[in-house]
């Protein structure tokens, strides 16, 4: 072995030993420092406490005309369509698990083995290629806690993860996670992400597309395929290699998907509000958040029911409608389904 490579290997090994030693010492000192507070943190962090209870996810609403024509998609910062776990393909589920938490169904809410393995892998690679947090811990972090980096928050995260797995099944936790995680561009959850980057339903995604989505979870800005294609391709390659290591793909298949082009634009799958009529529907919904349909006083086909001022509905959409029944319900659901129904549950 050349002397240079040998020296580099020795340096990497010594660096790894130093990191492990410092991490162990740091954990020991931190444990002693936090011991007097641990009981207070555990007792204060209860699922029964409203502050630490999973709240219904924000979900976009769709405005339909009476003939079923989609007039607009309404949402604030979070563009999300909640999809059942059974509607998410195995390609997406297995890829995200391979990248984020390979043994999710086999370990408890906190996986110390995974944390140590991630430490070794990241030090060896000289970069953060694997995270140590379980899916349950990640869900707790994005749903219940602040993003601050502190031992107090990490302890609280672990306690809540334990309690969450007592309250929900693994399938329920995974479903909530896949509908919660942020993929960039305002897209929350796998359905909105599939639309944004591939202009597809999540059920249509293959291994290569799933690998790109999985690569965004760690850093949706840093691995944005539209703005940072080189970084995005490198990170996707890591995700594909994880699929090889977990037996889901052969190396030849991974190389094939690695050669596929990345998205170069973001898609707008659903129309956005662009006239005063839709704005009026939105305002009436905001005035009555429990409203399911707004049909009695607003008729898209009848100009007499339109707002007196502001931009009026365009001719194309007017011609497409047969008397408005402006229903606001989860996308993909029957217009008869109430907004905020069972979709909100984990």
> What pLDDT is stored for residue 192 in this prediction?
94
Could you tell me how many residues make up the chain?
A: 346
- What is the DSSP secondary-structure string of 118-183? HHHHHHHHTS--S----HHHHHHHHHHS-S---HHHHHHHHHHHHHHHHHS-HHHHHHHHHHH-B-
Taking only the tens place, the pLDDT of each residue in 89-146 is 999 999 999 999 999 999 998 887 766 665 555 455 555 444 568 999 999 999 888 7
Is the per-residue pLDDT at 80 higher than 50? yes
Rounded to whole angstroms, how far apart are CA atoms 222 and 216?
Answer: 8
User: What is the sign of the dihedral through the CA atoms of 15, 232, 182 and 227?
Assistant: positive
Is the per-residue pLDDT at 332 higher than 70? no
Taking only the tens place, the pLDDT of each residue in 228-275 is 999 999 999 999 999 999 999 999 999 999 999 999 999 875 655 566
In whole angstroms, what separates CA 3 from the centre of its chain? 46
Query: Global pTM?
Result: 0.69
- Starting at the edge strand found earlier in the chain, the sheet holding 293-294 runs 70-74, 61-64, 326-329, 293-294
Compute the mean pLDDT over every residue in the chain, rounded to the nearest whole number: 73
Answer yes or no: CATH 3.30.360.10 is held by domain 85-258.
no
Quickly state the pLDDT bin for 153 (edges 50, 70, 90). Answer: confident
Domain boundaries, the chain: 3-44, 61-79+271-344, 85-258
Q: What is the percent of the chain where pLDDT is above 90? A: 41
Which of 111 and 178 is assigned the larger pLDDT? 178
Quickly state the pLDDT bin for 150 (edges 50, 70, 90). Answer: confident
> What pLDDT is stored for residue 152 in this prediction?
80
Rounded to whole angstroms, how far apart are CA atoms 107 and 134?
Answer: 9
> What pLDDT is stored for residue 333 in this prediction?
36
Is the per-residue pLDDT at 292 higher than 60? no
Alpha helices in the chain (DSSP H): 3-44, 90-100, 112-125, 135-144, 151-167, 170-180, 190-198, 207-216, 229-245, 251-258, 276-287, 315-320
Instruction: Read off the tokens for 61.
Output: 């609403």
Is the per-residue pLDDT at 15 higher than 60? no
> What pLDDT is stored for residue 274 in this prediction?
60
Q: How many CB atoms lie within 10 A of CB 277?
A: 26
User: What is the sign of the dihedral through the CA atoms of 288, 323, 335 and 337?
Assistant: positive
Is the per-residue pLDDT at 148 higher than 80? no
For 327, the 3-state DSSP assignment is strand
Instruction: Read off the tokens for 15.
Output: 């660096």
What residues contact residue 14 under an 8 Å CB cut-off, 6+ apart?
A: none
Taking only the tens place, the pLDDT of each residue in 230-239 is 999 999 999 9
Q: Report the pLDDT averaged over residues 69-79.
A: 71
CB–CB of 179/80 below 8 Å?
yes
Rounded to whole angstroms, how far apart are CA atoms 286 and 170?
Answer: 35
Question: Partners of 115 in the beta sheet?
Answer: none
Q: For the ranges 84-93, 99-108, 166-175, 329-338, which has the lowest average pLDDT?
A: 329-338
Strands 70-74 and 293-294: unpaired
> What pLDDT is stored for residue 111 in this prediction?
83
């Amino acid at each position: 072995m050349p002397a240079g490579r040998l020296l580099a290997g020795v340096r990497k090994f010594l660096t790894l030993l130093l990191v492990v030693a410092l991490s162990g010492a740091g954990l020991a000192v931190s444990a002693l420092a936090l011991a007097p507070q641990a009981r207070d943190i555990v007792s204060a962090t209860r699922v029964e406490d409203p502050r630490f209870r999973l709240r219904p996810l924000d979900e976009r609403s769709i405005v339909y005309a009476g003939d079923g024509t989609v007039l607009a998609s309404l949402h604030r910062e979070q563009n999300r369509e909640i999809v059942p776990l059974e509607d998410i393909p195995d390609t997406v589920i297995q890829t995200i698990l391979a990248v984020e938490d390979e043994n999710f169904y086999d370990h408890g809410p906190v996986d110390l083995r995974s944390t140590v393995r991630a430490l070794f892998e990241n030090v060896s690679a000289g970069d953060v290629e694997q995270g140590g947090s379980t899916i349950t811990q990640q869900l707790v972090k994005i749903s219940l806690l602040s993003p601050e980096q502190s031992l107090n928050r990490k302890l609280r995260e672990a306690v809540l993860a334990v309690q969450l797995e007592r309250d929900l099944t693994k399938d329920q936790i995974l479903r909530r996670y896949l509908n919660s995680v942020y993929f960039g561009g305002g897209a929350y959850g796998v359905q909105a992400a599939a639309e944004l980057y591939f202009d597809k339903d999540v059920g249509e995604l293959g291994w290569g597309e799933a690998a790109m989505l999985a690569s965004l979870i760690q850093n949706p800005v840093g691995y944005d395929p539209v703005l940072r294609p080189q970084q995005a391709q490198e990170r996707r390659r890591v995700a594909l290699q994880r699929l090889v290591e977990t037996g889901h793909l052969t190396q030849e298949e991974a190389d094939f998907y690695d050669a596929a082009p990345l998205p170069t634009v973001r898609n707008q799958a659903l129309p956005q509000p662009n006239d005063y009529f839709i704005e009026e529907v939105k305002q009436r919904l905001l005035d009555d958040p429990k409203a399911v349909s707004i049909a009695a006083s607003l008729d898209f086909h009848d100009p007499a029911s339109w707002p007196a001022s502001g931009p009026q509905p365009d001719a194309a959409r007017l011609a497409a409608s047969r008397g408005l029944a402006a229903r606001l319900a989860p996308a993909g659901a029957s217009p008869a389904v109430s907004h905020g129904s069972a979709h909100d549950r984990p």
